[in-house]
Structure formats: structure tokens, C-alpha cells
Structure 1
Amino acid sequence: MTSTSSDPTVSDDSLWTPLTVGRMHLNHRLAMAPMTRNRAHVDGTRTGRPLAAPESP
């Protein structure tokens, strides 16, 4: 696979290699940030915050 990075030392293949970060072992190096935040309590129950964005006036 060819690299799409401007850095010739980084290859796309490195995205699929395992990585250990602290105590967490990742099978690959792709990650996705959470798409919501502060919508549930620690026990998983829903907070009172709205799930959808408020309507525009």
C-alpha cells in the first residue's frame, strides 16, 4: 500500500498495526471520538438534557 502522508517515513500500513497505550491494547490505530457527551449519568441513566439540538427561533 502506498502512503498518502506527506511524511515518507509514515505508511498507511502502520494504521493497521497493534499499539499499546498505557494499559490499553489496540488492535489497530484507528479511533473515533465520542459523538455525544454528558447525556447520561455514570450508571447509564439519561440526564435531563435534550437529545436533539434546540430549534432555531
Structure 2
Amino acid sequence: MPITTTASVDGQLSHPRAPLKGWPAVVSVMLGIFAIVTTEILPIGLLTSI
């Protein structure tokens, strides 16, 4: 897959982002959502045994 550069408004070339640069943010949001949903849904599943 070729990497391309784009020209900005003032004519200078801007370099593309590194492919793995944004993944830690994606993983941290994913883990946060998993933790919140788990703490909200888990007690509902345990209500019959409580």
C-alpha cells in the first residue's frame, strides 16, 4: 500500500500520520467503554441469583 503525501493550503507538503500512532487512544477508549458497560450490565445478570 503506497503512502501518499498531501499539499496544504500554503503549498508545503504534509507528512501522513504513522499507521500505529492513534491506536493507543482507540484501545484506551475501547477498554473504558468495556469497563463501564460491564459494571452496568453485570449486576442485571446477577439479579436472579441475588
**TM-score normalised by the shorter chain: which range applies?**
under 0.3
TM-score (norm 2): 0.22
TM-score (norm 1): 0.21
Which one has the largest radius of gyration? Answer: 2
